[in-house]
Structure 1
Amino acid sequence: MDIIGISLFLIILLFLLLGSGLWVALSLLGAALVAMEFFAGTETGTVMATKFWDSTTGWTLTALPLFIWMGEILFRTKLSEDMFEGLAPWMARLPGRLLHVNIIGCGIFAAVSGSSAATAATIGKMSLPELKRRGYDEGMAIGTLAGSGTLGLMIPPSIIMIVYGVAADVSIGKLFIAGVLPGILLILLFMGYVIVWAKLNPSRVPPADHDYTFRQRLWASRRLIPVVLLIAAVIGSIYGGVATPTEAAALGVVGALILSGVTGTLNARSFGDSLMGATVTSCMIAFILAGAAVLTIAMGFTGIPRVMAAFIGEMGLSPWKLLLALTIVYIILGCFLDGISMVVLTTSVVLPMVQAANIDLLWFGIYIVLVVEMAQITPPVGFNLFVLQGLTGKNIFRIAADTAPFFCLLVAAVVLLWFFPAIATWLPEQMIAR
């Protein structure tokens, strides 16, 4: 069997394993086992054991469970309630008013969560009932929450960036910094759309129910101070070169525990729940990463990445054509898999192609996060859409229709990133220059 035949066989096998309901990690290991046993002619057991161990003992990966634990701790505080009360007075005069609380609230929570689904679920539990009670358009409330929930993947500290950095051997600190401006860009795009929509549909936005003075706004903002300080400490320590991502994650955990203690939500039960939640999630991700690492080395033994890279080079595909093809592939994968699984599942095959096309791996990391964000709300089967269906009980097609404009805005962000790569690369370059 030639390389193309082997590639097709392994891809079909992998999708059959995934379709059977087998865990993603076990599906990856199964495909790797078949590849090495039948097509590589190597010591399968030794190679798998060595790679499995190496992929789970790297110091870089230590940041992952710490950031997840930080998010789990804060998930059990009054953070979301405080954010709504602190942001609402400042949004009252903007066209669309409290709809912007969804966007800014998701942006803030994304910086302490790192998870798209957790961001959408946490902010949604707090904001959707409140917006409905005040008479806001339910479709737009759901749409803003779906679009802004994806910010959990982009705004650092992002779990998916850690996963990509480990898989692609790219600095996680640089990835975090590279995600700042694209995250701000997405927030501005979402808020801009809401402003235009509100101007075109004034009857669908309820009048302001309270005229806040500047002093009242400042007083309400005190609720934002703890989480803003925590975000500044975590991200600022990385950007300033004071701490590595792992050290910053440890700082974030300590800060989250302090916040939880101050708000009165830290007790033996909440501490145990947060620790268990972080352990389960971290083990799941580490297991997937280990499976992907074994599949990567198996692919290397079969020669598939080398042949594919050469094939891309011989075809002379321009970088934009390659990225267009990859975008379509990731959107399709988003119908079946969560973001982390998508990244670890494809890096072993995709990265050789990307390197052969001379695409910067740091820039590509931000691109892939954006595309995965798109996949999370791809109508009608994006992963986050099911989260919102569980929150609202609405028909999945209705939710998909409400979310469609924000999917288009993410497409626009990908186009902007392509034409203006400095959106992702400028801040990391400044960090290096310092």
Structure 2
Amino acid sequence: MDLLTISLTLGGLMLVLLAAGLWVALALMVAGLTAIYLMVPVPPGAVMATTVWGSINSWDLAALPMFIWMGEILFRTRLAEDMFAGLAPWMRRLPGRLLHVNILGCAIFAAVSGSSAATTATIGRMSLPELRKRGYDERMAIGSLAGSGTLGLLIPPSIILIVYGAATEQSIARLFIAGVVPGIMLAVLFMGYTAVWSMINHKRMPEADPRIPYLQRIWQTRRLFPILALIIGVIGSIYGGFASPTEAAVVGVILSLALSWFTGTLSRATFFAALRNASRTSCMIVLILAGASVLTVAMGYTGIPRALAQFIAEQGYSPYALLAVLTLFFVVLGCFLDGISIVVLTASVILPMVEAAGSTSSGSASISCSWSR
């Protein structure tokens, strides 16, 4: 069988399995084992025994459940309320006013939760009722929240960057560093769009709030100190070289538990609820990684990633043309799969293609995670 036939067979099999409602992890395993059985004179069971264990037996991957647990703990605290109260007084004079609190709040909370879902749910639960009460445009309020909620995919400690690093055997710390600037740039672009939209559609904005005395704004800012301390403790320990991402995740869990206890939101029920949800999510992600490892080995045997990278290099596509084509590809995938599944499924193919176009592995990670939104 030639590579085109193999690619079409695997792609068609994957679509059929996913359309049938099979778990993503199992669909990946079935497709990989089918390719190995048809193309490689190696027992599929022997491949699974070594590949699956090797994919999940990773020190860097140990950071995953800890960061997820930290996000689950913070989801149950008053952190979002304090952050809103600390940011709101400074945003009232900007075009768009409290809409910027959505964006900045998501950017800040993403830096401690690592999860876009937790960020969107936590900030939205607190900000949307307040924005509705003040008469802000419903679509713009929800749009600013939905867009900025995805900043958790880039701003460390991003869960999806950890998954990408584990799937491609990249340094988690380097990926975290690579995600900072794109995440901040996106936040600035979101705020710029919000400001321009509010100036153009000023009639759809509510009346300006009364001016708050400067000293009162300073006093309200004190409510940002807990989350800033958490960011410094987690991200600062990584960038300062004091801790690895896994060790920083443990620091984050300890600090988030202390913050929950200090704010009076830590109870036996919330503790075990956070632990249970974190365990469930971690198991799901690890199972997807295990399935993807089987498919990755199968694709390595068949030579599809290498052939695709060579094909791209021979076509002479400019980096921008390649980005445009791959963007459309990810848009289609996003109609059927979640972000983590997309990244794990495409990492082994996209990485050599993007590197062949002149990008670095860290840049490829930022691009892939941005696309997966």
Q: TM-score, normalised by structure 2?
A: 0.97
Q: Take 1:167 and 1:358, find their aligned partners in 2: how far apart are those partners?
A: 21
Aligned to 2:275: 275
Paired amino acid for 2:237 = S
Paired amino acid for 2:82 = D
Q: Secondary structure at the match of 1:208?
A: coil
What is the deviation of 1:255? 0.4
Q: Secondary structure at the match of 2:372?
A: helix
Moved more, 308-317 or 180-189: 308-317
Question: 8 Å contact 1:106–1:120 — kept in the other structure?
Answer: yes
Moved more, 198-207 or 91-100: 198-207
Q: Secondary structure at the match of 1:314?
A: helix
Aligned to 1:370: 370
Aligned to 1:125: 125
Q: Take 2:329 and 2:49, find their aligned partners in 1: how far apart are those partners?
A: 31
Q: Take 2:369 and 2:95, find their aligned partners in 1: how far apart are those partners?
A: 30
What is the deviation of 1:354? 2.6
Map residues 26-425 of structure 1 onto 2, 5 A cutoff: 26-373=26-373
Q: Take 1:47 and 1:111, find their aligned partners in 2: how far apart are those partners?
A: 38
Question: 8 Å contact 2:355–2:364 — kept in the other structure?
Answer: no
What is the deviation of 1:65? 0.7
What is the deviation of 1:85? 1.3
Moved more, 106-115 or 337-346: 106-115
Paired amino acid for 2:269 = R
Paired amino acid for 2:286 = A
What is the deviation of 1:210? 3.3
Q: Take 1:310 and 1:92, find their aligned partners in 2: how far apart are those partners?
A: 53
Paired amino acid for 2:321 = K
What is the deviation of 1:309? 2.6
Task: Give percent identity, aligned residues only.
Answer: 61
Q: Deviations over 1:199-222 (max 9, x none)?
A: 222222222333211111111112
Q: Secondary structure at the match of 1:179?
A: helix
What is the deviation of 1:56? 0.8
Question: 8 Å contact 1:29–1:291 — kept in the other structure?
Answer: yes
Q: Deviations over 1:79-117 (max 9, x none)?
A: 111111111111111111111111111111111222222
Q: Deviations over 1:173-221 (max 9, x none)?
A: 1111121111111111111111112222222222233321111111111
What is the deviation of 1:347? 1.3
Q: Take 2:323 and 2:361, find their aligned partners in 1: how far apart are those partners?
A: 13
Question: 8 Å contact 1:87–1:221 — kept in the other structure?
Answer: yes
Q: Deviations over 1:110-157 (max 9, x none)?
A: 112222222222211111111011111111111111111111111111
Question: 8 Å contact 1:295–1:348 — kept in the other structure?
Answer: no
Aligned to 1:395: none
Paired amino acid for 2:60 = T
Aligned to 1:430: none
Paired amino acid for 2:117 = A
Q: Take 2:121 and 2:16, find their aligned partners in 1: how far apart are those partners?
A: 31
Q: Take 1:20 and 1:83, find their aligned partners in 2: how far apart are those partners?
A: 43
Q: Take 1:206 and 1:354, find their aligned partners in 2: how far apart are those partners?
A: 46
Q: Take 2:197 and 2:318, find their aligned partners in 1: how far apart are those partners?
A: 37
Q: Which structure 2 residue ranges, 5 or more long, are not aligned?
A: none
Q: Take 1:208 and 1:351, find their aligned partners in 2: how far apart are those partners?
A: 48
Counting matched residue pairs gives 373
Q: Deviations over 1:19-49 (max 9, x none)?
A: 1111100000010110111122212101111
Q: Take 2:28 and 2:205, find their aligned partners in 1: how far apart are those partners?
A: 49
Q: Take 1:93 and 1:65, find their aligned partners in 2: how far apart are those partners?
A: 40
Moved more, 251-260 or 123-132: 123-132
RMSD (Å), alpha carbons: 1.3
Q: Take 2:131 and 2:314, find their aligned partners in 1: how far apart are those partners?
A: 55
Q: Secondary structure at the match of 2:42?
A: coil
CA distance 1:321–1:198, change in 2 (3 Å): closer
Q: Take 1:310 and 1:49, find their aligned partners in 2: how far apart are those partners?
A: 31
What is the deviation of 1:319? 3.0
Aligned to 1:425: none
Q: Take 1:314 and 1:89, find their aligned partners in 2: how far apart are those partners?
A: 56
Q: Secondary structure at the match of 1:150?
A: helix
Q: Take 2:366 and 2:165, find their aligned partners in 1: how far apart are those partners?
A: 11
Paired amino acid for 1:25 = A
Question: 8 Å contact 1:173–1:245 — kept in the other structure?
Answer: yes
Q: Which structure 1 residue ranges, 5 or more long, are not aligned?
A: 374-434
Q: Take 2:254 and 2:198, find their aligned partners in 1: how far apart are those partners?
A: 41
